[in-house]
Structure 1
Amino acid sequence: MSQAEEKISPMAAKHAKPSLSHSQVSEMMKRLFRLTPSEIRSLPSYDDQNFYVAPVEGGEYVLKIMNAEDSKNLALIEVQTYAMSFLHKNGLPAQTAMPTTSGQLMSLEELDCGNGCQKYLVRLLTYLPGTTISKAPVTPQLLYETGKTAARMDQILQEMEHPHLSLLQREKFIWSLSNVILLEAYVHLYDGDPLQEVVKSVIHQYKTSVVPKRSSFRQCINHGDFNDLNVLVQPDESDGYRICGILDFGDMNSGYYIHELAITIMYMMIEHPNPIEVGGPVIAGWESVLPLTEVEKECLYVLVLSRFCQSLILARYSVTLQPENKEYLMISSRKGCHIFRQLWELGKEQVEKVWFQSAAQFSDRK
């Protein structure tokens, strides 16, 4: 998920997504990178356009064409691109950007995708083989590794220095867990849906039980979208899976460690046969790197519910802008609605009991 809510207007957002043809991609690869594609195939994306490209010269790449609105944020994307490289240098499996023939890591291209000429930011990223964690058997051990990786990632990002780091503040960025209250402007999208009352209740709990405690949270830089489609895995030697890729840094923002954990738990629930059991091993993995404070533990349940609210509401909003992309936009929402309701009905005390007892047991076995 990208900066969907930093659009100028709904109409601008509606026509911001690029739609290049394969011939345009081929021309761009030759002109910008002196590479001749032997294979090009489209990859799914929320509001950008991604292509897998295998050139005759060798190697495998992802050509990423940013949507026209986000392409205006050159300095922000520069920070995101640098962060990927910084994680890669520090031992985490993130993509890195390939330089153009002029030595730049990105190029602003003026293209006509059927809505008149617009400028789109283009990057060629290394291709990471693997399958999304959404398609792998999500064992407790893999969930533990996911929590551990998320914590290590935020720990490393906190050490990063860059002249434009302040741009990650993103005060009105609606995907930030600091900005859950901004969802109130979109609650009407659930008019007539019984889930609307649950959404309103969660936002109220966020206001009353999370916001007053936020000053006690430990600050960091969040990846912000550590979801089941942005984490790649490969089979390991012990018949399990290991994490081999972290994708999509478009939602990076200045936040708090507990936000990343809440986001990770929420998305790892989506494909799990028993979603409530996800929290324990993810928390255990996280705490093997960054033990939680009592205040962070106290707010985790509401923050997980709050991320569900963001995902469900903003997917519904995005469908109004891109009805033709409904299938991809609603991936998390279909199962998410059921899990969200289940979490809410079980209640904070019961869910926390499952999560923290399981986390303690998992840690004891390590």
Structure 2
Amino acid sequence: MASQSNPSECIEVQKPFLTVDDAAELFSHLYGMPKATSVKPLNGYDAQNFLINLDHVGIDDQDLNQDPKCCTQRYVLKIMSGEESKDEIGFRAIHSIQKYLKHHGYTCAAPLQNIHGDDMKIEEFTKKQPADGLNAGQRVRGRFMIRAYPFLPGVSLTSVGVVPANSTQVFYEAGKSLAQMHKILQKYPHDTTALKEKAKTFEWSLDNLSIILKHVHVVKDQKRRDFIVDIVKTFESRVLTIKDQFRKGIIHNDFSDTNVLVTPILDNSTTSENSVAHQVNYKLSNAVDFDDSHYNCLVFDIGISMMYMAVSKPAENHPLHASAAFLAGYQHVNPLTPEELEVLHICQAARFAQSLIMGLYTYTYIQPGNDYLLLTQNSWPIIEDLWEMKVDSVRKMWTDVAMECAKFDMHA
């Protein structure tokens, strides 16, 4: 396993570097569990994530997607980046949020306690890098926060192989889920100071959208660079200047196609939509990864989520229709104010710009080879279409899709 040796002459790194064997040994030692029978790396932006399997049945993607019973001996081990690991107070607040949501009936995982009776631990690791690649042959060192969660069954929206027959309803239900989360968290009784402070400095907070202007040079096309600048300036002048008019609360900030989980509905025999070959219906199952949560405007969270719904696999044929269905679901549970509706499409565009630039910059200069960072790079045509639409046309689309979605609650 990556060791705790003499730190002299080591290069300090921010990105965790554990192997699957390291992860298996660490989980067993820190959580007092049997040695894992198998370990599978999961996608991550800055953190390392591993699926830990303790039973004697192999990790089978189909089983994980469909059968909750198969997941009782599976866990997700999270190794946070060096920079993230400095925010112990912030992560304790996030853990408190997750426990509060779960206590109030919202489906999400709460962190596991380790052998020390805590739900996190920071450890220092050193390791000699291979002879090729980044920091070739050098000893590297990092201090990383270790956390773990029970594995939740389901497949992320971005991993759905075939567009679901009921994709519009899936997006609608996802919108309802975020609205329910917001309503529960409006009554969160504990101190939110750390979450408010996070909004001031966190690079993925829309408050700090202008950070991407320092990195926009990573886009080679001048027209697209100008396009990004226009979105940032519009957001600053039309949204940030009137922040006081919007409802505030704890937001997820990454309620995305990778963090919304769905499971297939196994008995579809009575669903006429399934006449399309190889298509099945899905239902919303869980929401995961609250690590970007902080205190901010609810409308930011809605726009952020609408952006990610539009770029998900099930939305590939009608991206803006998908985000409109998400909005309809949200509105059914927690209606937006006129002021929020006025700026919602700008918030959606702002996260498009943020994701496009941050992802490409990080891939180019910090984590080359991490293709997970490039998931949204094919979405340029979607944001260009949205930004070029007249506001009245956007509003009409939202209204039309909402009318289409009304049937879902009539048959509930």
Normalising by structure 2, report the TM-score: 0.80
Query: Contact 2:363–2:371 (CA<8 Å) still a contact in 1?
Result: no
Partner of residue 338, structure 2: 294
1:305 paired with 2:303, answer no
Q: If you compute each CA radius of gyration, which structure gives the higher value, 1 or 2? A: 2
Write the distance in 2 (CA, Å) between the matches of 1:225 and 1:108: 24
Higher deviation after alignment, 80-89 or 234-243: 234-243
Partner of residue 132, structure 2: none
2:144 to 111, 114, 120: 120
Structure 1 residue 145: deviation in Å? 0.3
Partner of residue 205, structure 1: 234
Partner of residue 393, structure 2: 350
Structure 1 residue 117: deviation in Å? 2.9
Q: Which runs of 4+ in 1 moved over 4 A?
A: none
Structure 1 residue 349: deviation in Å? 2.8
Write the distance in 2 (CA, Å) between the matches of 1:38 and 1:20: 17
For 1:20, the aligned partner's letter is: L
Structure 1 residue 310: deviation in Å? 0.5
Partner of residue 110, structure 1: 124
Write the distance in 2 (CA, Å) between the matches of 1:113 and 1:232: 35
Partner of residue 6, structure 1: none
1:141 to 155, 169, 176: 169
1:131 paired with 2:160, answer no
Partner of residue 52, structure 1: 51
Structure 1 residue 326: deviation in Å? 3.6
Q: In 2 relative to 1, CA 274–307 (structure 1 residues): closer, same or farther, beyond 3 Å?
A: same
Write the distance in 1 (CA, Å) between the matches of 2:310 and 2:356: 14
Structure 1 residue 62: deviation in Å? 0.6
Higher deviation after alignment, 46-55 or 211-220: 211-220
2:325 to 275, 278, 281: 281
The secondary structure found in structure 1 opposite 2:206 is: coil
Q: In 2 relative to 1, CA 110–323 (structure 1 residues): closer, same or farther, beyond 3 Å?
A: closer
1:102-139: CA deviations, max 9, x gaps?
Answer: 21111111111445332111112110111111233351
Query: Contact 1:93–1:245 (CA<8 Å) still a contact in 2?
Result: yes
Write the distance in 1 (CA, Å) between the matches of 2:124 and 2:156: 32
Write the distance in 2 (CA, Å) between the matches of 1:190 and 1:347: 26
Q: In 2 relative to 1, CA 141–70 (structure 1 residues): closer, same or farther, beyond 3 Å?
A: same
The secondary structure found in structure 1 opposite 2:292 is: coil
Higher deviation after alignment, 66-75 or 176-185: 176-185
User: Root-mean-square deviation (CA), in Å?
Assistant: 2.0
Write the distance in 2 (CA, Å) between the matches of 1:56 and 1:204: 53
1:79 paired with 2:93, answer yes
Q: In 2 relative to 1, CA 173–323 (structure 1 residues): closer, same or farther, beyond 3 Å?
A: closer
Partner of residue 284, structure 2: 243
Write the distance in 1 (CA, Å) between the matches of 2:93 and 2:365: 28
1:23 paired with 2:52, answer no
Query: Contact 1:301–1:352 (CA<8 Å) still a contact in 2?
Result: no
Higher deviation after alignment, 74-83 or 271-280: 271-280
Higher deviation after alignment, 312-321 or 41-50: 312-321
Write the distance in 1 (CA, Å) between the matches of 2:241 and 2:403: 28
1:66 to 65, 75, 80: 80
Gap regions ≥5 residues in structure 1: 1-10
Write the distance in 1 (CA, Å) between the matches of 2:118 and 2:230: 48
Partner of residue 101, structure 1: 115
Write the distance in 2 (CA, Å) between the matches of 1:364 and 1:100: 46
For 2:51, the aligned partner's letter is: Y
Count of paired positions: 352
For 2:373, the aligned partner's letter is: L
The secondary structure found in structure 2 opposite 1:40 is: strand
For 2:326, the aligned partner's letter is: V
Q: In 2 relative to 1, CA 323–33 (structure 1 residues): closer, same or farther, beyond 3 Å?
A: closer
Partner of residue 406, structure 2: 363
1:252 to 286, 293, 310: 293
1:157-191: CA deviations, max 9, x gaps?
Answer: 2222334x211122022211222233322233335
1:340 paired with 2:383, answer yes
Partner of residue 264, structure 1: 305
Write the distance in 1 (CA, Å) between the matches of 2:292 and 2:28: 30
1:2-46: CA deviations, max 9, x gaps?
Answer: xxxxxxxxx97xx31111122222221222112121111111111
Partner of residue 32, structure 2: 34
The secondary structure found in structure 2 opposite 1:159 is: coil
Normalising by structure 1, report the TM-score: 0.90
The secondary structure found in structure 1 opposite 2:37 is: strand
Write the distance in 2 (CA, Å) between the matches of 1:350 and 1:200: 23
Partner of residue 188, structure 2: 160
Write the distance in 2 (CA, Å) between the matches of 1:240 and 1:256: 33
Write the distance in 1 (CA, Å) between the matches of 2:240 and 2:88: 31
The secondary structure found in structure 2 opposite 1:123 is: strand
For 2:111, the aligned partner's letter is: A
Query: Contact 1:61–1:124 (CA<8 Å) still a contact in 2?
Result: yes
